[in-house]
């Protein structure tokens, strides 16, 4: 009983830390002029968490990204972000054992399709190419960040290396 409670506490604490880290990294952002869009650094943190700790913690990153949307003044996007980023993080963590590149490509696809479609519906289809371009850059930079930092973090935490 005591061991279960301790493990549950650790799980909740790590999930909260992941959500907070993604929120802070997302708040380091660059607005796209003329649109209610922005480029941010949360993608890389979400990918690192998902690839290092798995699907549950990747999904927790969606909560942090949604919180950042609320704090940055994009409340309309918060529920969409929760769903899109939560699914993205979950899929990246779930597919991580098959290889980091496969996992990142699947997650990036979810993010790009989700946000580009949402921008098209919310702002009109003329906004979709801007969103698409922003998302391609964001997922590319986030993926590169994760590919660099995940092996370092895994070694630092004494976790076995994966593909």
| Better pLDDT: 8 or 32 | 8
| Residue 96 in domain | yes
With contact defined as beta carbons under 8 Å apart, do 79 and 66 qualify? Answer: yes
With contact defined as beta carbons under 8 Å apart, do 93 and 58 qualify? Answer: yes
pLDDT above 70 for 157: yes
| Residue 163 in domain | no
- Structural domains in the chain (count): 1
| Residue 161 in domain | no
Give the CATH number of the domain where residue 12 resides: 1.10.1760.20
pLDDT, one tens digit per residue, over 14-49 is 999 999 999 999 999 887 777 666 778 899 999 999
pLDDT, one tens digit per residue, over 57-106 is 999 999 999 999 999 999 999 999 999 999 999 999 999 999 999 999 99
Domain with 117 in it: 2-154
**pTM, two decimal places:** 0.92
Angle, to 10 degrees, between the axis of helix 42-53 and the axis of helix 78-95?
40
Structure tokens that stand for 128 in this block:
């979709």
| Residue 25 in domain | yes
pLDDT of residue 35: 66
| Residue 139 in domain | yes
For 136, phi then psi, to 5°, come to: -60, -45
| Residue 159 in domain | no
């Amino acid at each position: 009983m005591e061991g279960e409670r301790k493990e549950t506490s650790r799980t909740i604490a790590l999930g909260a830390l992941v959500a907070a880290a993604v929120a802070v990294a997302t708040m380091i952002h660059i607005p796209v002029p003329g649109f209610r869009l922005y480029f941010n650094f949360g993608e890389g943190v979400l990918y690192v968490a998902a690839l290092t700790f798995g699907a549950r913690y990747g999904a927790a990153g969606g909560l942090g990204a949604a919180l950042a949307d609320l704090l940055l003044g994009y409340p309309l996007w918060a529920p969409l972000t929760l769903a899109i980023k939560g699914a993205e993080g979950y899929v990246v963590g779930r597919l991580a054992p098959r290889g980091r590149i496969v996992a990142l490509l699947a997650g990036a696809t979810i993010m790009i399709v989700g946000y580009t479609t949402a921008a098209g519906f919310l702002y009109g289809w003329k906004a979709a190419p801007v969103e698409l371009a922003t998302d391609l850059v964001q997922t590319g930079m986030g993926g590169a960040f994760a590919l660099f930092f995940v092996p370092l973090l895994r070694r630092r935490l004494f976790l076995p290396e994966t593909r």
